[in-house]
């Protein structure tokens, strides 16, 4: 019997390319590894695209590990956002909340 996946969402970005196309970038932590997935549209399902579609310069890739030992999850998120804002051919439309909070829930 296989063990269940331990998965948590690290970052959820809604993006638009220069032609007006909508995309969603999800960054998840799955069993201790970072996984980036780029989808068509502003949802977390649909056609998957290569991360090359982000238009980062040659030799630049989205990070899959912290740059230093004590990097926080927030610093990691900000590093990805900054990379896309400064180097990608896409524009961030919205940073989607990654934590679900229920109000008045007991």
Please name the helix (run of DSSP H) or strand (run of DSSP E) that holds residue 94, with its range, or none.
Answer: strand 91-95
Q: What angle do CA 78, 11, 85 make, to 5 degrees?
A: 45
Domain ranges of the chain: 7-95
Which pLDDT tens digit goes with each residue over 45-67?
A: 788 999 999 999 988 999 988 88
Which pLDDT tens digit goes with each residue over 16-28?
A: 999 999 999 999 9
Residue ranges of alpha helices (H) inside the chain are 73-87
* Short-list 21, 24, 17, 11, CA closest to 90: 17
Entry pTM:
0.84
* Short-list 4, 61, 70, 3, CA closest to 34: 61
């Amino acid at each position: 019997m296989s063990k269940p996946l331990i998965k948590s969402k690290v970052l959820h970005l809604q993006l638009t390319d220069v032609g007006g196309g909508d995309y969603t970038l999800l960054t998840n932590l799955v069993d201790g590894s970072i996984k980036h997935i780029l989808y068509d549209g502003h949802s977390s399902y649909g056609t998957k695209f290569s991360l090359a579609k982000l238009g980062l310069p040659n030799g630049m890739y989205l990070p899959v590990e912290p740059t230093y030992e004590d990097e926080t999850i927030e610093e990691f998120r900000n590093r990805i956002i900054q990379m896309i804002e400064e180097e990608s051919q896409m524009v961030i439309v919205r940073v989607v909340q990654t934590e679900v909070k229920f109000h008045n829930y007991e």
